[in-house]
Amino acid sequence: MRLERGYFRIRDLLFGAETSLANGVLTVNRDELTRVLLKEDENTQVASLTLEIVKPGEDARIVHVLDTIQPGVKVEGEGEFMPGQLCDPAIVGTGKTHLFANLAVMECAELPWAGKSALLYARDAIVDMVGPAAAYSPFSETFNLVLRMTMKDGASDVEYDESVRHAGIRCARYLARLLKDRAPEETECFDFDTPVDPTLPRVAYVTQCQNQGTYSNTFLYGKDVGNIVPVSLSPTEVMDGCIVSGNYVWPCFKIPSFLQANLPVVMELSRKHGRSLDFVGVVFDRGHNNSHFEKQRIANLAASQVRKLGADGVVISWEGGGNAATDAMLTLQTCEKWGIKAVAFTFEFGGPDGTEGVLLVDDVPEAKFLVSGGSIEKPTLIPRVKRVAGGDALRLRKETGGEPEPADIERRLDNITPFYCGGNQSGIGRLAGVGY
Amino acid sequence: MQKEAERAGIPTALITAIPSVAKSVGVSRIVTGGGIPYPVGNPSLPRDREIEFRKRLVEKALEAISTEVKEPTVFNVSL
Amino acid sequence: MRIVHYINQFFAGIGGEEKGGSPLEHCEGPKGPGVGLLPLMGSEAEIVRTIWCGDNLINQEQERILSEIEKLIREVKPDVVVAGPAFNAGRYGLACGMVGKLCTEKLGIPALIGLFPENPAVEIYRKDAYIYPCAETAVGMRKDLPGLAKLLMRLAKNGKLGPAAVEGYLPRGYRYNEIVESNAAVRSIEMLERRLKGESPATEVPLRTFEKVPPAAPVRNLREATVAIVTGGGMVPKGNPDKLKQAFADSFGTYSIAGMDELPVGDFKGIHGGYDSTWVDEDPDRVVPVDVLRGLEKEGRIKRLLNEYVVLCGIGTNVAMSKKLGADIAEQLKRKEVSAAIYTST
């Protein structure tokens, strides 16, 4: 497969009379877009939708963040960017795709908490644009078009989930249309058709997602992956958004759609392909399997895919906490047993100074080569901010009532779990645990 | 938690779906349970069979507690 | 840079094992390995005093000897104290550790110790002073001194050292989040590429090690036993009256099951944030098996099911807190004369 990606960077985002892109400034007709999104909400679960703009460096905080999407459009080649999402599940990864490099569409809503399972509900997720927590999320550096939504009462989780996702995707596509007939400022070409130097080491990537039910799901070509058996995908398919996230349960443990289409390991390995290594493919599966037997089964099947790709080495990462770590560690163990060298990256625990107990929930003796994604057990003092987008209040601690609390004030959070992407599970963050 | 009970002289057994984690942590008596969200059960069985399964798991746990062990040991029950 | 050096009877030239009881002594200026160390440190460095003691004596009379050493160090106001290198010598290593700890805890003077990484003193004193990894025996002295000297000078100048991996001392166990040069994805690929070249790059995250606790003696006669249930599965009375946390537990709840043949559906709910509680909400006995144990009690297979169970949510709880909660729970079980307990986890 061969794919050319064209990037467009904006230098400002505004509301204005007409939706347009000129001289790096993206103007959005707020009323028109709002109307379009509400009209197309076929479940009609969205009670209200307000578009908000949040810019990098702004003294602002965004709350209730659910999924975050990159506006992109295919200009050549089969299928659409994010195939299977309100369109045919055509196999993507060829031709040309145009993308906004630094613009993100954020779905924000307070999804109902009442009567939910103790795992499956959207815990409040925070993105700080400035201050010490800005480093926890890559979206403190993007122009964010926030869809602040409120939902009608009385519907089911499946309906709410679909409504917010469809609103986000439609908004992203509305904006991406502007890129269709334009020449990109910057392009990257990825060629996985032409054979490379056979002496180069062959490397695969295992990306293990979360899928434990509505609000914690991940979608492959438009369908959630509850019973998925590990599958191998071409790097360019992944770049064209065939993996979309509907995972809102733990803010720190998630890889939103924007990052799923730009997985740093996929991008970096693709850039090295043909030069210092042969990137043989991506293996996609899910963790959190319910018994040791099922975990071992999926681990073995994933390792088997890695072996079938002919990999000499593999990078492994996962979405989720301890339960998922076990599946990934078993995958690593099987790879190592078969002589495939494995490196994984992971968040750590360790407490505020690293000395409290163990760093990892689970490991295997073969996990001798690990990279740190940073500890999630560090307290963070977040500052008072001028403005809050996405909502007005924070809902923390559902298990003790989940009362709303002011979102703009200074506050000390005991650990990094409420921060969007704080667990650094795509590997995009430069926060790491450093030993002293 | 469990090791502290052992330290105090109370024999214990753990029913868990992930015996490997328990073993590496050093829990002495481990019974492989039903599944992570239902350690002492199995919703895919008809109700009376599930209770029968639960009984076998608990009995195995009691058997483990009555058994001398030297190192982390996993006890299994057939479905 | 004023430096005080601690060594033992052997390196002071007094004698070997047989002189382990030799008294605490000192001299001004360098002695033994200090003589080799000093020229490696540049003109600003001065070993103002060397202190030594018999390895057996300092281990046997720690308090007295250390308080003497404290005086000897205070007198000369050093910027830094160095002890050893003790290589893999057990008692000498412990002595160096004690001196290091004395400096950082009581004197506020940074200390550097030279030890072989597997010297038992390392685990005990790892946090109390910086440890420079040395060879296993004194044969490695020549190779080790330059590195030790360099680190000692840095410590004297700055009062503390940077990251362990960068400076070259043994990690003391502290870990802090810092923004590093490249992201985790890039570093993972770099680490893998080095492995594929046949190298053995250092891991960024050490694996877990757990304390071994010998198992308690088994129950002799189940028919005489009082059995209790303890769960990490977060099943609590509706409304979570004690406000237990869904993760990072710092307390546990104890709830009555007196007179119950099973945990009544609806009166109890799962609040654990790490698994889908739908199944246990449907049937709480799937995580707190009251029904079966009550049945066994009625059959006489066990004497008694304790009339209360203990619960918390086992996710993310660090080991230190788990130990504390575990010990408190164990104490409570002992008070209620429990003979055995069944734990369940999710």
DSSP-assigned states of every residue in B8-64: TT--EEEEES-HHHHHHHT-SEEEE-SBTTBTT--TTS-HHHHHHHHHHHHHHHHHH
Considering only CB atoms, B17 lies closest to which of A290, A362, A363, namely A290
Q: Region C36-60: what's the mean pLDDT? A: 92
Do residues C56 and C138 both lie within one domain?
A: yes
More confident residue, C11 or A398: C11
Q: Count of domains in chain A?
A: 1
**Interchain proximity B11–C345, CB inside 8 Å:** no
Q: Mean pLDDT of all residues in chain B? A: 88
Q: How many angstroms separate the CA atoms of C9 and A130, rounded? A: 59
The stretches of A309-321 forming alpha helices (DSSP H) are none
Query: Which value, in Å, is the radius of gyration of the alpha carbons in chain B?
Result: 13
Residue B34 above 90 pLDDT? no
A292 at interface of B, judged by CB pairs closer than 8 A: yes
Q: What is the three-class DSSP state of C346?
A: coil
Q: How many other CB atoms are there within 10 angstroms of residue A388's CB atom? A: 22
Residue B24 above 80 pLDDT? no
* B3 Cβ contact list (under 8 Å, min separation 6): B26, B27, C211, C213, C323, C326
* Amino acid, single-letter form, for residue C51: I
A433 at interface of C, judged by CB pairs closer than 8 A: yes
Q: Is B46 exposed, middle or buried (0-12, 13-18, 19+ CB in 10 A)?
A: exposed
Q: Region C242-248: what's the mean pLDDT? A: 87
CATH number at residue C146: 3.40.50
Q: Determine, yes or no, domain membership for C186.
A: no
The helix (run of H) or strand (run of E) holding residue A157 is helix A157-176
Q: How many other CB atoms are there within 10 angstroms of residue A402's CB atom? A: 16
Domain that holds residue C254: 222-344
* A387 Cβ contact list (under 8 Å, min separation 6): A58, A59, A60, A61, A408
Q: Count of domains in chain C?
A: 2
Q: Determine, yes or no, domain membership for C214.
A: no
Do residues C47 and C111 both lie within one domain?
A: yes
Q: How many angstroms separate the CA atoms of C312 and C184, rounded? A: 34
Q: How many angstroms separate the CA atoms of A3 and A267, rounded? A: 12
Segment C214-241, tens digit of pLDDT: 888 899 999 999 999 999 999 999 989 9
Q: How many angstroms separate the CA atoms of A399 and C236, rounded? A: 10
Longest alpha-carbon distance in chain C: 85
**Interchain proximity B35–A291, CB inside 8 Å:** yes
* Distance from the B74 Cα atom to the nearest Cα atom in chain C, whole angstroms: 14
Q: What is the pTM of this model?
A: 0.83
* pLDDT score for A115: 65
Do residues C132 and C263 both lie within one domain?
A: no
Q: Determine, yes or no, domain membership for A422.
A: no
Segment C120-164, tens digit of pLDDT: 889 889 889 999 999 998 999 999 999 999 999 999 999 999 999
* pLDDT score for A77: 97
Residue C316 above 70 pLDDT? no
Q: Determine, yes or no, domain membership for C237.
A: yes
Segment C56-98, tens digit of pLDDT: 889 888 899 999 999 999 999 999 999 999 998 888 999 999 9
Do residues C228 and C162 both lie within one domain?
A: no
Among residues 24-43 of chain B, which lie with CB inside 8 Å of chain C? Answer: 24-26, 28-29, 33-34, 36-41, 43
B48 at interface of C, judged by CB pairs closer than 8 A: no
**Interchain proximity A370–C272, CB inside 8 Å:** no
* pLDDT score for A323: 86
Question: Taking phi first (over 0 means left), then psi (-120 to 50 degrees means alpha), and beta for anything else, what does residue A102 get?
Answer: alpha
Using a CB-CB distance cutoff of 8 angstroms, which residues of chain A are in contact with residue B36? Answer: 288, 290-291, 323
Q: Region C103-121: what's the mean pLDDT? A: 93
Do residues C124 and C261 both lie within one domain?
A: no
Q: Region C180-198: what's the mean pLDDT? A: 97
* Distance from the B77 Cα atom to the nearest Cα atom in chain C, whole angstroms: 15
Q: Determine, yes or no, domain membership for C205.
A: no
Q: Region C287-294: what's the mean pLDDT? A: 94
Q: Determine, yes or no, domain membership for A424.
A: no
Segments of chain A scoring below 70 in pLDDT: 114-116, 357
Residue A416: both structure tokens together: 């990094």
Q: What is the three-class DSSP state of A34?
A: helix
Domain that holds residue B9: 2-75
Considering only CB atoms, C330 lies closest to which of B10, B33, B34, namely B10
Q: If we measure between CA atoms, which residue out of C220, C79, C221 comes closest to residue C157?
A: C79
Among residues 357-376 of chain A, which lie with CB inside 8 Å of chain C? Answer: 357-360, 363, 365, 367-375
* pLDDT score for B79: 64
Considering only CB atoms, B32 lies closest to which of A292, A295, A361, namely A292
Residue A290: both structure tokens together: 């319910």
Q: Count of domains in chain B?
A: 1
Among residues 125-144 of chain C, which lie with CB inside 8 Å of chain A? Answer: 127
CB-based contact A343:A328 (threshold 8 Å): no
Question: Taking phi first (over 0 means left), then psi (-120 to 50 degrees means alpha), and beta for anything else, what does residue A169 get?
Answer: alpha
Q: How many angstroms separate the CA atoms of C302 and C334, rounded? A: 18
Domain that holds residue A275: 2-413
CB-based contact C308:C252 (threshold 8 Å): no
CB-based contact C235:C269 (threshold 8 Å): yes
Task: Characterize the bridge pairing of strands A60-62 and A127-128.
Answer: antiparallel
Considering only CB atoms, B68 lies closest to which of C218, C293, C323, namely C218
Q: Which of A117, A289, A292 to mutate to test the interface with B (most CBs of B within 10 A)?
A: A292
Q: How many angstroms separate the CA atoms of C193 and A265, rounded? A: 13
Considering only CB atoms, C286 lies closest to which of B16, B25, B40, namely B40
Segment B57-70, tens digit of pLDDT: 999 999 999 999 98
Q: What is the three-class DSSP state of C156?
A: helix
Helix axes C184-196, A264-272, angle to 10 degrees: 40
Q: Above 0.95 for ipTM, yes or no? A: yes
Q: Determine, yes or no, domain membership for C203.
A: no
